[in-house]
Structure 1
Amino acid sequence: MAFTKQRAGAPTGFFQAEAAGLRWLAEPGVIPVVRVLGVADDRLELERLEPAPSSPEAARTFGAQLARLHSSGAPGFGWAPRSPAYFGPLSQPFEVPAAPRESFGEFWAEDRLRPLLERARGQLGARGAATVEEAVDLIAEGAYNGIAGGPAEEPARVHGDLWSGNVMWTADGAVLIDPAAHGGHRLEDLAMLAMFGAAHLNEIFAGYESEHPMPSGWRDDIPAHQLFGLLAHVHLFGSMYTPDTVSAAEEVLRGR
């Protein structure tokens, strides 16, 4: 039985981009991804998943699978499996660039953060916007190209919108849904999971590190990778997310 996502008048290529992202994430065969059954301009047909409770064991397994997905790599930072690419909910998606950049900092700052900063400037207020802009400038300079000040990371194959609602727990474990898949930094997905508190988050992180050990202090980098998701929430849902966004920007500035 299929599950159908449908929206009349969806932006051009919106459902095709999601289908391409799901197939690209499934390609390495290292993590369960919801299966695409069909796609059209106004709909996406997916296999129907039966939800089940999560568990610490399933979370640890998911973390290890996610690390393997990231390590399978991508053609470049910001590359997406289809153009145009989109981010955001079905009701309010917005287009994002899909071409690769030379470095993570360039991609994150110029193709993700600055465009949203301009859209959200009014909700951030003058002082908040100035703080965020300073953080974006630091990211653009490459301060967060690595992890905890280490060497620059290679492009990872990332889900790109991995808040807890886009992990479907089933009797067989976690399944990825609703991606904004692209080549990015491996901390993007981990930061998004942490942003609103995924179930068994510490077990997910432990599973991840069992597959891909992380340097000491890596969690201090999380705010730099949450800044896009937070700015998106300011843009889409309003100034209630401004304090968290400005706080994250301040942590970015303190972290380097």
Structure 2
Amino acid sequence: MSDAILQACIQATGSPVERSQPVSGGSINAAYRLETSKGHFFLKVNDAPQAGAMMAADAYGLQLLRQAGPLSIPEVIRQGTVDGQSYLLLAFIEEGRATAAFWQAFGEGLARLHQHTADTFGLDQDNFIGSLPQRNHRHANWADFYREERLRPQVRRATQQHLLWPGAEAQFSRLYERLPDLCPQEPPALTHGDLWSGNFLTAADGSPVLIDPAVSYAHREMDLGLSLLFGGFSPAFYEAYEQAYPTAPGFRKRAGLYQLYYLLVHVNLFGRSYTGSVQEIVNRWAR
């Protein structure tokens, strides 16, 4: 963390930084806990060429979720770039322990979030999924959006890197044709977009907090599908969600359709160890 960024944080908070401490912030950014007389703050820093765009997208997503209201979201204090380093300054969330009430509130809160809708699928700007670009051009129906803005760009990237199997593109083409009949028709839902167990916290008061979004107005089953992919969510979470906003029959059977996007992202980020999982889903649904 440069002196210039430290000074930007002091200006943003209106208080000298008494102590800065590195904290776990994932594999993409350096992260720090800043202690001041006006409270504690969370700072992410990155000097990669696209870091400014990533921080701006993160800030926009957090603000959009915060405006929606049903779940706690860290307040964005300031975002910017100084001397070639990009940063995002947030209110720090003191963590507590998840209880049964936590999972109930989380499931109900996500259900209410998903009831925020828009006229089209997409968003008014592109963003990122991890460190990869994520397009959000608007579409009138889900199948077109999922095909053109989610699956096709990741398949193209993986093909260029020779990370898929022979005949993969032809199989994906058959899957694209089937998508309108495979996913239930629903209105666009405001989604977190990267809902795995590393992207939520338990606040000190026991309430759920969402972090690190990749927001868009998408099919709400995208969030639920990813939550099932790597685990870490209590059955009470799904029970509360279903009571508040039931999914269409058969969601668990088609969850792989939504997980496919995230597995392709993992192929492109981490390599062929995830290719077999992608192929298994495509073999099932591209008949």
In the superposition, the TM-score normalised over structure 2's length comes to 0.78
Retained in 1: the 8 A contact 2:137–2:149?
no
Aligned length: 240
**Partner of 1:25 in structure 2?**
65
From 96, 105, 114, the counterpart of 1:52? 96
Whole-Å separation in 2 of the counterparts to 1:163 and 1:250: 25
Whole-Å separation in 2 of the counterparts to 1:235 and 1:137: 24
State yes or no: 1:168 paired with 2:207.
no
From 111, 119, 127, the counterpart of 1:85? 127
Over the matched positions of the two proteins, sequence identity in percent amounts to 31
**Partner of 1:149 in structure 2?**
none
- Which amino acid in structure 2 is aligned with residue 31 of structure 1? L
**Partner of 2:21 in structure 1?**
none
Retained in 2: the 8 A contact 1:54–1:169?
yes
Whole-Å separation in 1 of the counterparts to 2:247 and 2:114: 13
Greater alpha carbon shift after TM alignment, 53-62 vs 203-212: 53-62
State yes or no: 1:38 paired with 2:74.
no
RMSD over aligned CA atoms reads 1.7
**Partner of 2:254 in structure 1?**
221
List per-residue Cα deviations over 1:233-252 (Å, max 9, x = no partner): 00110000011111122333
Greater alpha carbon shift after TM alignment, 186-195 vs 113-122: 113-122
Whole-Å separation in 2 of the counterparts to 1:162 and 1:84: 18
> Residues 26, 144 of structure 1: CA spacing in aligned structure 2 closer, same or farther, 3 A cutoff?
farther
Whole-Å separation in 1 of the counterparts to 2:248 and 2:215: 25
Gaps of 5+ in 2: 1-39
Retained in 1: the 8 A contact 2:199–2:212?
yes
State yes or no: 1:107 paired with 2:145.
yes
State yes or no: 1:199 paired with 2:238.
no
Greater alpha carbon shift after TM alignment, 8-17 vs 115-124: 8-17
List per-residue Cα deviations over 1:101-150 (Å, max 9, x = no partner): 111110111111011111112211114454344323322xx12441xxxx
Retained in 2: the 8 A contact 1:31–1:66?
yes
**Corresponding residue SS for 2:166:** helix
Retained in 1: the 8 A contact 2:158–2:268?
yes
> Residues 53, 109 of structure 1: CA spacing in aligned structure 2 closer, same or farther, 3 A cutoff?
same
Retained in 2: the 8 A contact 1:114–1:136?
no
Whole-Å separation in 1 of the counterparts to 2:284 and 2:95: 36
**Partner of 1:179 in structure 2?**
213
Retained in 2: the 8 A contact 1:117–1:133?
no
Gaps of 5+ in 1: 147-151
**Corresponding residue SS for 2:121:** coil
State yes or no: 1:248 paired with 2:281.
yes
Greater relative CO, 1 or 2 (CA 8 Å, sep 6+): 1
**Corresponding residue SS for 2:163:** helix
Retained in 1: the 8 A contact 2:126–2:137?
no
In the superposition, the TM-score normalised over structure 1's length comes to 0.87
Whole-Å separation in 1 of the counterparts to 2:238 and 2:101: 12
**Partner of 2:23 in structure 1?**
none
**Partner of 1:124 in structure 2?**
164
Larger radius of gyration: 2
**Partner of 2:26 in structure 1?**
none
Whole-Å separation in 1 of the counterparts to 2:278 and 2:116: 31
Retained in 2: the 8 A contact 1:74–1:182?
no
From 19, 23, 42, the counterpart of 1:3? 42
Q: Give the C-alpha shift of residue 54 in structure 1.
A: 2.2
**Corresponding residue SS for 1:14:** helix
**Corresponding residue SS for 2:198:** helix
Q: Give the C-alpha shift of residue 58 in structure 1.
A: 1.1
Greater alpha carbon shift after TM alignment, 101-110 vs 243-252: 243-252
